[in-house]
Amino acid sequence: MPTERSSREGCGGGRGSDTSVTLSRKGRVDCVTGTPVRVLGAAFFVVALTGRVLIPAGAPDADRHLPPLLPLPRLADGDTIVLTDDLDVRVTLQEPASRIVSLVPAATEILFAIGAGDRLVGRTRFDRHPQEVLAVPSVGDGVRPSVELIVALEPDLVILFAGPDSRRAADELRRIGVPVLAVRHNTLTDLYRNIGRLGQVTGSSGPSERLSATIREDLESVREATGRLLRRTVYYDAWWQPPITIGRGSYLDSLITLAGGRNVFGDLQRPSPQVSLEAIAAREPEIILYPVHRGVEGRAPVSERPGWHILEAVRSGRVRVFDGELVVRLGPQVAAAVRELARAIHPGFE
Amino acid sequence: MRPGRGRPAGLVSLAVLLGLAVATGLAVGPAWLSVGEVWDALLPGAQASPARAIVLSVRLPRVVAAALSGASLAVSGVLFQALLRNPLAEPYLLGVSSGAALGAVSVLVLGLTVGPAGLALAALAGALVAIVIVFRVASAAGYLDTRILILAGVVVASFFGAGVMLVMTFAEGRTTRSALLWTMGSFGNASWGMNLALAVYSLPAVLLAFGLSRHLNALALGEESAAFLGTEVETVKRVAYLLASLLAAAAVSVGGVIGFVGLVVPHAVRLLWGGDHRFLVPMSFLAGGALLALADAAARTVAAPLEVPVGVVTALVGVPFFLVLLRRSYAGGAG
């Protein structure tokens, strides 16, 4: 809640604010009461800079001001938020998160869609949607993230992918006392679940339920429309050296189905299996879906690749170029993504 | 088996083996075609069909690329082992592969939209840079010092290897897959244009290497002895080094880094038929080609529709075979 944040920033003369102030970064951390997380952030910063734990000079009784490792539960508050994340860890928040670092681009987008975008204080370098997100500082890749960079942003919630690459960071952040929400985000089910979770942690359950309902209705109407069309077999060209496509484990497989197509590698369990040209030819896709992405690309047009003309779809010019930017992320725009796919698979759709 | 015996028969059987390997490469793949379908596809004037397209446009260029690369790598290994008189010498020892890898990986990671031919050229350029640096350092004394050659080569290899790691650090997920695929070897990008370039470049080099056989035999006795026997040691060393490097560079540009072939094929041939280079060169050529053509067929097929890196197959299948051969040949202390 923005009001909460501003009141905290003013923080006033509270207990202990005279002794343990050792660090002033751009005048922002000038008092340490109220949010243990912040003190820890500052402490971590000092440790990171000097390589050891500094006891502030002139604070003989500094121990008294060290915050507990985890925020003490506030009793009788009633609105403590408790949920279980996809690493099976129980996440407990005393109040709705107001300083969020999101390392999951889709979660970032959902936050904006449910009106909680102004609580975002950190993102990955891959976040591009919506436009406002570019004003938020980036902490880099998102996978194997830098704990130091994240803590410096003083978040009260970090959202990251539940996977082996971010497990260490998740453990470390929790140890420091920063709440972490680790999420899987691979399927439509994950999307709905994460919209619900983000509504919960930001105290915006109303908007998140409305968002889920809108997405459900949109998808249902596209499904109905494409259900009347002949289902086409498609090959999704995710990468070409080696050829990488999508399997059943990817949400794109379900989006293609909703869009009135059938993924020729839908029998493969992995989300992005590597295949071979000959295997593609053997499955005789009617259409090749060629998503175009912004920025550095490096993928040769299908018709210019040696050998690819053996595919009937290439010879007959059924390579369908479409806006990949809309499709590569599983976010609030998912219905628009399915429409884009449906137009690529069925020319003249809608 | 006593080395040296049955060499003409050995040559013939290796040629047959190469033929069988090529046939196998054409017959198998992730799309299951019957032998009849493959045969029909190969007949001139056959009707256009998916089977024909798969056999002629996907399998045949790959088989040819794999065979040519394997042959080049094996001959390159023969030359390096003779030149350095070191059983550990192999085509990639002196930085050719890391130079090529840096060229290729840089192009991939920068996201330059180049076709496979552009990628091969970038790899070739990287390999040539490494070769020139090593050669210049090693001939600083006025003659080609093989000790300095090894040292400079290994050091340059580490330098370019570090460059590859640096570039990979900045790579994004999918380009990393391309780069990784390249550094483990694959003939997925083979095309007729590339095969033609490889043939034009490799076959004359192999013939030259064959022409050097007598001098390579002399060199095996040591540089002084070779000089006594009338070999122009310096010229032979330089030519051998350049031929070996260029062969390795050509192979690595087409198929990426495929280990094992260049190290072990010459040793295997030597164990079976002796160290006379007049036979060692052509026999290694045939055996290397056969091995890599078979390995590529397996790489395409065993995990279909996925592809296994061909270098993984050569090592996993080739090393046990070689160890058995090594043990048998030296069993009982007989040399």
- B17 CA to chain A: closest CA distance, Å? 25
Residues 287-316 in A contacting B (C-alpha not used; CB under 8 Å): 296-300, 304-307, 309-310, 312
Query: B57, A241: Cβ pair inside 8 Å?
Result: no
Lowest mean pLDDT across A33-42, A105-114, B284-293, B309-318: A33-42
- Given this model, what pLDDT does residue A75 score? 43
Of A281, A300, A309, the CB nearest to B115: A300
Query: B177, A278: Cβ pair inside 8 Å?
Result: no
Query: B191, A307: Cβ pair inside 8 Å?
Result: yes
Q: In chain A, which residues have their Cβ closer than 8 Å to the Cβ of B186?
A: 242
- Given this model, what pLDDT does residue A297 score? 61
Q: Is the pLDDT of residue A40 over 50?
A: no
In this prediction, residue A230 has a pLDDT band, given cuts at 50, 70 and 90, of very high
Chain B residue with CA closest to A264: the answer is B305
A144 touches chain B (CB under 8 A): no
Chain B residue with CA closest to A241: the answer is B178
Quote the tokens at residue A161. Answer: 């992918």
Q: In chain B, which residues have their Cβ closer than 8 Å to the Cβ of A163?
A: none
Q: Is the pLDDT of residue A25 over 90?
A: no
B302 touches chain A (CB under 8 A): no
Give the number of other Cβ atoms within 10 Å of residue B12's Cβ.
Answer: 12
Q: In chain A, which residues have their Cβ closer than 8 Å to the Cβ of B104?
A: none
Q: Calculate what percentage of chain A has a pLDDT beyond 90.
A: 50
Chain B residue with CA closest to A283: the answer is B31
- Given this model, what pLDDT does residue B79 score? 94
| Interface TM-score (ipTM) > 0.85 | no
Lowest mean pLDDT across A48-57, A229-238, B105-114: A48-57
In one-letter notation, the amino acid at residue B210 is: F
Chain A residue with CA closest to B186: the answer is A242
Q: Are strands A120-122 and A100-102 parallel, antiparallel or unpaired?
A: parallel
- Given this model, what pLDDT does residue B4 score? 56
B206 touches chain A (CB under 8 A): no
Q: In chain A, which residues have their Cβ closer than 8 Å to the Cβ of B53?
A: 281, 310
Question: Cα(B28)–Cα(A39) distance, rounded to whole angstroms?
Answer: 65
Work out the end-to-end distance of chain A between its first and last CA atoms, rounded to an integer number of angstroms: 41
- The pLDDT tens digits for B196-237 are 989 988 999 999 999 999 999 998 888 888 888 888 888 999
Of B29, B111, B306, the CB nearest to A298: B111
- Given this model, what pLDDT does residue A262 score? 96
Optimal mutation site among B198, B301, B307, B312, interface A, most CBs of chain A within 10 A: B307
A267 touches chain B (CB under 8 A): no
The mean pLDDT value for B228-252 works out to: 88
- Given this model, what pLDDT does residue A19 score? 35
Question: Cα(B25)–Cα(B161) distance, rounded to whole angstroms?
Answer: 32
What does residue A257 show for φ and ψ, rounded to 5 degrees?
A: -60, -45
- Given this model, what pLDDT does residue B168 score? 85
Chain B residue with CA closest to A302: the answer is B115
Give the number of other Cβ atoms within 10 Å of residue A246's Cβ.
Answer: 24
B181 touches chain A (CB under 8 A): yes
Query: Which of A73 and A144 is assigned the larger pLDDT?
Result: A144
Q: In chain A, which residues have their Cβ closer than 8 Å to the Cβ of B198?
A: none
Query: Which of A303 and B284 is assigned the larger pLDDT?
Result: B284
Query: Which of B54 and B46 is assigned the larger pLDDT?
Result: B54
A269 touches chain B (CB under 8 A): no
Q: Is the pLDDT of residue A34 over 70?
A: no
- Given this model, what pLDDT does residue B49 score? 79
The mean pLDDT value for B230-258 works out to: 89
Of A273, A304, A310, the CB nearest to B57: A310
- Given this model, what pLDDT does residue A98 score? 94
Of A238, A242, A280, the CB nearest to B181: A242
Lowest mean pLDDT across B2-6, B107-111, B143-147, B171-175: B2-6
Alpha-carbon dihedral angle through residues A39, A40, A44, A45, given to the nearest 10 degrees: -30
In one-letter notation, the amino acid at residue A35 is: T
Work out the end-to-end distance of chain B between its first and last CA atoms, rounded to an integer number of angstroms: 11
B112 touches chain A (CB under 8 A): yes
- The pLDDT tens digits for A49-81 are 444 444 344 334 434 444 444 444 444 455 789
Q: Where are the beta strands (DSSP E) in A69-119?
A: 81-84, 90-93, 100-102
Of A279, A298, A312, the CB nearest to B175: A298
Cross-strand bridge partners of residue A232: A261
Q: In chain A, which residues have their Cβ closer than 8 Å to the Cβ of B177?
A: 239, 242, 244, 274
- A141 CA to chain B: closest CA distance, Å? 9
- Give the DSSP H/E element, type plus range, for residue A69: none
Question: Cα(A66)–Cα(B6) distance, rounded to whole angstroms?
Answer: 85
The mean pLDDT value for B171-177 works out to: 75
Cβ pair B58, A307 in contact under 8 A: yes
Query: Which of A232 and B94 is assigned the larger pLDDT?
Result: A232
What is the count of residue pairs from A and B with beta carbons less than 8 Å apart?
Answer: 98
- The pLDDT tens digits for A240-288 are 878 899 999 899 999 999 999 999 999 998 888 989 899 999 999 999 9
Residues 37-66 in A contacting B (C-alpha not used; CB under 8 Å): none
Tell me A21's DSSP state. Answer: -
Residues 4-23 in B contacting A (C-alpha not used; CB under 8 Å): none
Tell me the whole-structure pTM to 2 decimals.
0.74
The mean pLDDT value for B151-180 works out to: 86
Query: Which of A13 and A182 is assigned the larger pLDDT?
Result: A182
Query: B57, A276: Cβ pair inside 8 Å?
Result: no
Query: B30, A304: Cβ pair inside 8 Å?
Result: no
Q: Are strands A287-292 and A319-323 parallel, antiparallel or unpaired?
A: parallel
Q: In chain B, which residues have their Cβ closer than 8 Å to the Cβ of A312?
A: 50
Q: Are strands A120-122 and A180-183 parallel, antiparallel or unpaired?
A: unpaired
Lowest mean pLDDT across A28-32, B32-36, B261-265: A28-32
Lowest mean pLDDT across A95-104, A147-156, B44-53: B44-53
In this prediction, residue A115 has a pLDDT band, given cuts at 50, 70 and 90, of very high
Of A265, A297, A310, the CB nearest to B113: A297
- The pLDDT tens digits for A7-20 are 333 343 333 333 33
Provide the mean pLDDT of chain B: 87
The mean pLDDT value for A299-313 works out to: 85
